[in-house]
Amino acid sequence: MILKILLIAAVIAAVYFMFFKTKPAVKSSDKTEPKQKSPEVNDMTECATCGVYVEVKEAILSNGKYYCSRECLKKAN
């Protein structure tokens, strides 16, 4: 009896996941607009002053340029 109930529940679950659980529809306006990729944790960028590569999350952003330290930022100004 319990085996029959479990089998029926498994079939119902399989039908649900196959037919009713669909991915959300993508809006058509999302496809037309080019999305700008946001920097990820491991993305590296070059310091505008000394040329050293530094992670984006650790870099200093000023006037659209990345700097590795405050000293390089002061040198640029």
Per-residue pLDDT of 16-29, as tens digits, reads: 888 876 666 666 55
Domain count of the chain?
1
pLDDT of 11 > 90? The answer is yes
Separation between Cα atoms, residue 9 and residue 20, nearest integer Å: 15
pLDDT digits (tens, 9 = 90+) for 36-77: 666 555 788 999 999 899 998 889 999 989 999 999 999 987
Q: Which residues contact 45 (CB under 8 A, 6 or more apart)?
A: 39, 53, 54, 55, 56, 59, 66
Separation between Cα atoms, residue 18 and residue 20, nearest integer Å: 6
User: Is residue 16 classed as helix, strand or coil in its secondary structure?
Assistant: helix
pLDDT computed for residue 57 by the predictor: 87
Domain residues for the domain of 41 are 2-76
Answer positive or negative: Cα dihedral of 10, 15, 18, 22: negative
